[in-house]
């Protein structure tokens, strides 16, 4: 029976061995070339950048802006800044820089003040720029904190485990955070490299799940794909999946009850990240008061179990 295939957006063309389609951090293994500055959206870049990158850009913009205004004050003449120490040239520029910082942030200590139309005009314009810049930085900071970001923990390995007298593909997930995730859905695509009309081509097959959705995720969820007569994994061995360069692409979607937004998490397991003939061990227990205790560090724990596969050698 032929299983329908489609392209989820990762191309069916095969030109070389792919390291993996989805990295462990959930990002697609795609690098863009030929872009120009028109293609970069500043807000999306700043909201999506790492914290060191974000803080680095904010600090660079702050220092650069004050240097530019310090140069303008210095060009006008530091004699137009009342209270500045005019004894050393280097000291005058440094004091102009600090005056710029006080004006930019609207702190205004008062130890130095502008004198004359030119200096006051620059100071007034800088105060406006500072207000707008601080509002923009605050908006970016709020955007980073308000962005929903699920912290779904995945088991380190996926298992080929016993299931109802047969076998199944299983992996386990849990919510690392204390927020409530509701109405979760799971989708799995099997990506393989196969010969089609004499050419190597990537093939994507959606795997049916025993339970594609759960209402809540307070504990763990073991996502199970039964290997039955309709499964593309039926009769496959570890050697077969290695030859096919198999990778299981996973999408988890859920509703964050605290942020009131839908979140998405991506992950993948390659053929060499499967454990054959094993079963997950319980990752939660009940304490003396009767409360359930979830142990995230035991999410990947499993124990060997007898596995019977039709027409296959388990040890192959």
Closest by CA position to 103, among listed 65, 59, 57: 65
Q: What is the pLDDT of residue 311?
A: 46
Strands 158-163 and 274-276: parallel
Q: State the CATH number of the domain containing residue 122.
A: 1.10.287.70
Both 158 and 46 in one domain: the answer is no
Residue 311 lies in a domain: no
The gap between the terminal CA atoms of the chain, to the nearest Å, is: 25
The pair phi, psi for residue 309, each rounded to 5°, is -115, 135
Note the pLDDT of residue 228: 92
Boundaries of domain holding 92: 37-146
| pLDDT score at 314 | 44
**Structural domains of the chain, count:** 2
User: What does the DSSP 8-state code read for residue 271?
Assistant: G
Same domain, 276 and 171: yes
Residues 300 and 176 placed together within one structural domain of the fold: yes
Residue 85 has a pLDDT of: 72
pLDDT, position 13: 62
**313, part of any domain:** no
* 142 and 156 assigned to the same domain: no
Q: Are residues 184 and 131 in the same domain?
A: no
Asked if residue 225 is part of any domain, the answer here is: yes
In this structure, the answer to whether residues 167 and 282 fall within a common structural domain is yes
E strand map for 139-231: 152-154, 158-163, 166-175, 181-196, 199-207, 213-216, 220-226
Last residue of a domain, one of 146, 163, 186: 146
> In the listed set 146, 173, 196, which residue is the last one of a domain according to the structure?
146
Same domain, 156 and 275: yes
Per-residue pLDDT of the chain (316 residues; tens, 9 = 90+): 455 556 676 666 655 666 777 777 767 676 767 667 666 778 888 888 889 999 999 999 999 999 999 999 989 988 888 888 766 656 888 889 999 999 999 888 878 889 999 999 999 999 999 999 999 999 999 888 877 767 899 999 999 999 988 899 999 999 988 888 899 999 999 999 887 777 788 888 999 999 999 999 988 999 999 999 999 999 899 999 999 999 999 999 999 887 788 888 999 999 999 999 999 999 988 888 888 888 999 999 999 987 765 544 444 4
Same domain, 191 and 289: yes
> Does residue 228 lie within any of the structural domains?
yes
CA dihedral 36, 39, 43, 46 (to 10 degrees): -50
Q: Based on the domain organization, do 186 and 115 belong to the same domain?
A: no
Residue 143 has, within 13 A of its CA and on its CB side, a CA count of 15
Residue 1: CB partners within 8 Å, gap ≥ 6?
Answer: 229, 230
Residues 91 and 119 grouped into a single domain: yes
Same structural domain, 183 and 134: no
């Amino acid at each position: 029976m032929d299983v329908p295939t489609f392209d989820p957006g990762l191309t069916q063309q095969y030109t070389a061995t792919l390291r993996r389609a989805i990295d462990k951090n959930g990002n697609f293994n795609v690098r863009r070339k030929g872009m120009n500055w028109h293609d970069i959206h500043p807000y999306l870049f700043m909201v999506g950048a790492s914290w060191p990158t974000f803080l680095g850009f904010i600090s660079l913009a702050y220092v650069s802006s004050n240097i530019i205004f310090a140069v303008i004050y210095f060009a006008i003449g530091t004699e137009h800044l009342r209270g500045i120490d005019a004894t050393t040239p280097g000291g005058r520029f440094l004091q102009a820089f600090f005056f710029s910082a006080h004006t930019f942030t609207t702190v205004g200590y008062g130890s130095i003040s502008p004198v004359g139309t030119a200096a006051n005009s620059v100071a007034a314009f800088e105060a406006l720029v500072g207000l707008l810049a601080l509002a923009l930085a605050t908006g970016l900071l709020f955007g980073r904190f308000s962005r929903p970001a699920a912290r779904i923990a995945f088991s380190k390995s996926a298992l080929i485990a016993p299931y109802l007298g047969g076998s199944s593909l299983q992996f386990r997930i849990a919510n690392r955070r204390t927020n409530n995730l509701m109405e979760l859905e799971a989708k799995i695509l099997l990506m393989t490299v196969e010969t089609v009309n004499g050419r190597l081509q990537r093939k994507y097959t959606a795997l049916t799940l025993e339970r594609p959705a759960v209402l809540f995720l307070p504990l763990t969820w073991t996502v199970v794909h039964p290997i039955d007569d309709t499964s593309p994994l039926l009769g496959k061995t570890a050697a077969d999946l290695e030859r096919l360069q198999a990778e299981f692409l996973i999408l988890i979607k859920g509703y964050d009850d605290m942020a009131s937004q839908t979140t998405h998490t991506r992950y993948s397991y390659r053929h060499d990240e499967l454990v054959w003939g094993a079963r997950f061990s319980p990752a939660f227990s009940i304490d003396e008061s009767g409360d359930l205790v979830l142990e995230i560090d035991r999410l990947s724990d499993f124990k060997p179990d007898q596995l019977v596969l039709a027409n296959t050698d388990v040890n192959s």
